[in-house]
Amino acid sequence: MRKVLLTGISGFIGQHCAVALLKSGYAVKGSVRSLSKATRITEVIAKEVDPKGNLEFCELDLLKDTGWDEAAADCDFIMHVASPFFSKVPKDENELIKPAVEGTVRALKAAHKAGIKRVVLTSSMVAMLGAVKGDEHITQASWTDVHAKNATAYLKSKTLAEKAAWDYATANGIELVTIHPGPVYGPTLSSNLSGESMTLFKRVLTGELQQMIHASINMSDVRDVADIHVAALENEHAKGERFIVASEKAYSYKDITTLLKNSGYEKVSTKIAPTFMVKLLANFNSEMKGMLPYAGKKYEGDISKTQEVFNWKPVAFDKMVLDTAIAVQTVLDA
């Protein structure tokens, strides 16, 4: 049985990747920062699929060399999902950039030492935003300009980490595939609503968030993201490619709130914050500053290559939004 070293298994995307891998017949070695998380993660995954003894854990830190070579030694593939993410702009941008870049390089180095042929890396559409001016048509060839005025620490972290991965893979003969979701939603497998995606829906559903920013981008269902990660492991046409895994067109945050409101979620507000107000507040609020690359803008990605290579059709936008809402509301009602 082929084994995959899956970094970041405790996260929203990581848990879905673990389930998709096990369902596809792979053994999974999931990395966590502390092995104390292993029991809880196993319980979450076991609700979706019986691991049948094919799930194990190892302890890895994106900022430390310890354990990487040993973790990769008996694996056939690496799926590097782990990367820091929060929308607020940190005081020091290296809080995001350093672990993202160094962790990615550690994963590639471990693959090279272990003789692993292919690595699948979770990147993002934020690594493809061009000059970060909006109204961008995004393709596989698009890259974010990290020197652009509104390039935040998160945009820089994903872009620089991916570029470091391509440089190392090219120099060392590793087959690299990068996966680029937009904002990722879909049902959570756990009761943890602390991640960015689940927190947004929680705040919207409870009425805490009264205004959304005016912004549009292709949005992603976590189930699609996980499935394409798995499909990319052995698809011969995937090597050396960047794949946008998201909806066929761009959607706005107002599209989300309007759908929820029309579906009976009464506390949801459909108001939109004026873009000038977001820009003003960004001078004083780190969360608003993190929204500047998107406020008042539209980014539209071309998913045709992903559809062609994987014979794939994304989960419908309405299903993604409503399945997310149901999952979050279930946790809130528990």
Please, what sign has the CA dihedral across residues 21, 22, 25, 31?
positive
What confidence tier does 291 reach under pLDDT thresholds 50, 70, 90? confident
Find out whether 199 and 88 touch, Cβ atoms under 8 Å: no
Q: Coil, helix or strand for 212? A: strand
Count CB neighbours of 84 within 10 A: 17
Contacts of 277 (CB under 8 A, 6+ apart): none
Burial of 180 per CB tally in 10 Å (0-12, 13-18, 19+): buried
C-alpha to C-alpha distance for 174 and 85, rounded to whole angstroms: 26
What confidence tier does 149 reach under pLDDT thresholds 50, 70, 90? confident
C-alpha to C-alpha distance for 21 and 109, rounded to whole angstroms: 23
Query: Could you tell me the residue range of the domain that residue 238 belongs to?
Result: 3-333
- Give tens-digit pLDDT for 216-273: 999 999 999 999 999 999 999 999 999 999 999 999 999 999 999 999 999 999 999 8
C-alpha to C-alpha distance for 116 and 95, rounded to whole angstroms: 29
C-alpha to C-alpha distance for 218 and 245, rounded to whole angstroms: 9
pLDDT at 68 over 70: yes
> What CATH number does the domain containing 244 carry?
3.40.50.720
Q: How many folded domains does the chain comprise?
A: 1
What confidence tier does 85 reach under pLDDT thresholds 50, 70, 90? low
